Amino acid sequence: MGRTAVEAPRPLHGPGSPDAASKGAPARARRRARHLRESALTPWLFLAPGLLLFVGFRVYPLLEGLYLSFTNARLGRAQYAFVGLANYERLLEDSRFHVSLWNTGFYTVASTLPILAIPLGLAVLLDRGLPLRTLLRSAFFFPFTLSVVTVGLAWLWLLDPVVGPFNYYLKAAGVPVRSWLADPATAMWAIILTTVWWLTGYYLVIYLAGLQDIPPELYEAAAIDGAGGVRRFWAITLPLLRPVLLFVLVTHVIGSFQVFGQVFILTVGGPGDATRTVVQHLYETAFRSFFHFGSASAMAWVLFVIVLGFSLLQFRLLRGHTEY
């Protein structure tokens, strides 16, 4: 390691300052000083393996994708040409892409209320010092440990129109049944139901953490003032949970724009294109039917801009709520 220390010595480093060492202080002090200063390179040596990984597999692909979106690149095509905005223009006419965007938007909007409200309701109930709290939380959390494929397969079987238990019990209860996943009117709702089951535990834990941070004195004061449970929820819990609610909302929206696995397992985008999503369309454009990397990259960047918009929205909305 070189001795080109640019880092200012920290106050706690003791008496052996580098200046003293270089002015002919005793050898022992000099040796100590050498330990105390360090090369400007040291932090970068620590960072190097991670940054290599990060630049190579995150930053570079992001930029390469932008470049590809202006080319006619295809799987297996060694040479490709710059085509300007042609891929983006084609997206304007690609009706399946429009359907995919619409479906993704619908999924996002329709799943938001249940994904915000169900874990919140559970969290508020669990936060009351109930017996078996940890057990209950674990039960709701468990589906989140499963892969999206496992979740999809389990629900595919559960929702089987002929031999699945879901329809059996509905029929027994006198509810008219149908082939939920094969009906364009209900397929997306079945996917949403599956997703809510999968992710509720994750958001539950986040809400519970948020509830822990609300000072109990507030509830005490409200109780003394005669506020009931419902009133306390609206007047204290909800406002103070606002940053957490926003976090859950935006995380969910960003994740929803990339929904893929559930759809791929449960409906493969069908019936027709009723549940086709953007990422599925991107996947098929690039890797299944057309092998058109340029066009798929253009879709990816349209998606990125949408997601980025929501991320910036998050920062705007969260600004000023630094207490969390």
Partner 1 sequence: MGSLPPSAAALRPRGGAARWRRAALAGALLVLATLWLLPAVWMAVTSLKPTENIVRMPPEWIPWPATLAHYGEVLFSSSRTARIGRAFLNSVVVSVGTVVVVLVTSAMAAYPLARMRFLGRDLVFVVLVGSLMIPNAVVLVPQYVLTQRLGWLSTYQGLIVPEAAVTFAFGVFLLRQFFLTIPGELEDAARIDGADRWRIFSRIVLPLSQPVLAALAIFAFRSAWNDFLWPLIAVNKAEMFPLPVALSFLRGAYASESYGPIMAGATLSALPLLLVFLVANRRIVEGVRVSGLKG
**Interface with partner 1 in residues 92-111 (CB under 8 A):** none
Q: What token pair was written down for 161?
A: 């129109």
C-alpha to C-alpha distance for 256 and 261, rounded to whole angstroms:
11
To the nearest whole angstrom, how small is the minimum distance from the Cβ of residue 192 to partner 1? 15
Q: Is 57 in the site for partner 1 (CB under 8 A)?
A: yes
User: One symbol per residue from 109 to 148: x for binding partner 1 (CB under 8 A), - otherwise; what is it?
Assistant: -------------x--xxxxxxxxxxxxxxxxxxx-xxxx
Verify binding: residue 64, partner 1, rule CB under 8 A.
yes
Q: What is the CA 118 to chain-centroid distance, rounded?
A: 18
Quick one: 47 or 117, whose CB is closer to partner 1?
Answer: 47
In order of 2, 4, 7, 44, the CA distances from 39 in angstroms are: 6, 6, 8, 10
Under the binding rule (CB under 8 A), the answer on residue 254 touching partner 1 is yes
Q: For partner 1, which is the closer residue by CB, 106 or 166?
A: 166
In this chain, which of 264, 267, 269, 275 binds partner 1, going by CB under 8 A? Answer: 264
CA atoms of 85 and 272, how far apart (whole Å):
30
Angle between helices 242-256 and 95-126 (to 10 degrees): 150
Does position 156 interact with partner 1 (CB under 8 A)? The reply is: yes
Other Cβ atoms less than 10 A from the Cβ of 218: the count is: 14
Contacting residue, 23, 24, 27, 50, with partner 1 by CB under 8 A: 50
Span from 18-26, 57-65, 94-102, 174-182 in contact with partner 1 (CB under 8 A):
57-65
Structure tokens at 222: 């409200």
Can residue 197 be called a binding residue for partner 1 (CB under 8 A)? yes
Does 297 bind partner 1 (CB under 8 A)? Our answer is: yes
Q: Angle at the Cα of 104 (from 74 to 262), degrees rounded to 5?
A: 85
